[in-house]
Amino acid sequence: MPVFPSQDLYGKKICETYQQILQIFSGSVLNGAGSQQQFLNVTASYVIHAQTGSGTPIYTGSYYPITSSWANNSLTASYALNSSTTSGTSGTSGTTGSPGASGTSGVSGTSGTSGNNGTSGISGTSGSSGDSGTSGVSGTSGSSGSSGNSGTSGITGTSGTSGQTGTSGTSGANGAGGAQGHWGSFWDTTTQTNVSGSTGGNLMKFNTKDPDRFGVDIVDTTKLTFSADGVYNLQFSAVFQKTNANAADVNIWIAKNGSDVPVTNTIFSAAGQANSIAAWNFVLKLNAGDYIQYYWQSDSNDISIAYVGPQTGPTIPAMPSIILTATQVMYTQAGSNGTSGTSGTSGSSGSAGTSGTSGFLNLTGTTNNGVITYNGSGGTVQSDVKIQSGYVVLSQISSSLNFLDDAAAAAGGVPLGGLYRNGNFILIRIT
């Protein structure tokens, strides 16, 4: 038997007075616990007794107090249930009892599932469109100017015969070679002692010359001479030998034409009982006939510029006491160019071709402030054509000859080969 939990009245105050009641919910009769209550299906086969049993009788009023003590299921004689016999006379209704106290409301049941939405109705028919307005009248096209007749082109003359190529001139003689720079190399094969000591300078001497020297020489074993103007690089090296254990300072400088050259002295220290080499260079601008001399000085008397002769076992060449070189700095000694050969004789020019017949161009026009306007009276120019600042201005094309294609241009009067435009594009009618 189904149970409806939402209608369970146990625990409610009404149940404290009535142990069992009937309740109607959703078309069913339920007891106080919320269970469905079934009634006896009375048919004509049941014997209806006029007397009641020991239980409580069923009344014909608006309520039927039935208790479990009603054992004989007796009905009053006034009832005839599901029978074809004539019903007895209904008894007088008993007095209506006072209404009992109302029970508390049952818990509401859950809502049922919503039904599906209905089908949308058919849309109504759209109204008919209104009538279109009439188009405006198109403006008439301007009249196109008549095309002028083109002049006939002249016949091109024949080219003249080319002349014969002249013979090549003879090659010029080779120029002289570039000038050889002046130079010289000198050395000394003796030991040079400190003659002057602390009292003055000693001249460096050179007793040997390179036989291939050019333009530079040694005179009186001390004077380095120059035969040409120029800039010269002067280099020397000298071996100073100190015979005792003490070191000594040595001064070395140069003189030009007998006078000391300012700021040319160098001081170096020669070690005791050792050979010390002094070597550096000077670069000077000199004139032809100038001479240079080298000086050295030391306060120590036991110092000299030493020469060492050839050695054997093993064989070693001699060591000069001093070496001096002078080399001209070459920067303007380019050789002269050779004489150019004579040019060959030019060939004779060919005869000029015959000129073709000139065509004609019949133009009239005006010039205003450098602007040339051709009016085309002879027909060669369609209408106003202007050449302004090097630009051709096609005023008629830009103002009126605007056509979609050749067919429209022909209908507008543009001749074959004539110019017209389609928007910003200049076109030539070819059909």
Contact 183, 209 (CB under 8 A): no
Structural domain boundaries of the chain? 183-328, 365-428
Tell whether the model's pLDDT for residue 266 goes beyond 80.
yes
Q: Could you give phi then psi for residue 407, rounded to 5 degrees?
A: -65, -45
pLDDT band at 19 (very low <50, low <70, confident <90, very high): very low
pLDDT exceeds cutoff 70 at 178:
no
Question: Has residue 68 got a pLDDT over 50?
Answer: no
Instruction: Please report, for residues 254, 299, 329, the alpha-carbon distance to residue 210 in angstroms, rounded to integers and kept in the order given.
Output: 22, 33, 19
Average of per-residue pLDDT across 73-79:
44
Topology of the domain covering 183-328? Jelly Rolls (2.60.120)
Residue 226 pLDDT exceeds 80: yes
Asked if residue 49 has pLDDT above 60, the reply is no
Residue 306 contacts residue 239 (beta carbons within 8 Å):
yes
pLDDT over 60 at 279, yes or no: yes
What pLDDT digit, counting tens, does each position of 113-139 carry?
666 766 766 766 766 766 766 766 666
User: What is the Cα–Cα distance from 179 to 408, expressed in whole angstroms?
Assistant: 85
Q: What average pLDDT does the segment 231-248 reach?
A: 95
Predicted pLDDT at 139 = 61
* pLDDT average, residue stretch 167-186: 76
Q: Over the chain, what is the mean pLDDT?
A: 74
Residue 426 has pLDDT above 70, yes or no: yes
Using CA atoms, how far residue 390 sits from 20, 188, 372, 373, in Å, is: 123, 85, 11, 13
Of 157-166, 350-359, 421-430, the range with the lowest mean pLDDT is 350-359
DSSP characters over 27-91: TEEEETTSBB-------TTSPPPSS--SSPPPPSSS-----TT--S----TT---S-SSPPPPPP
Residue 326, pLDDT above cutoff 70: yes
pLDDT value at 165 more than 90: no
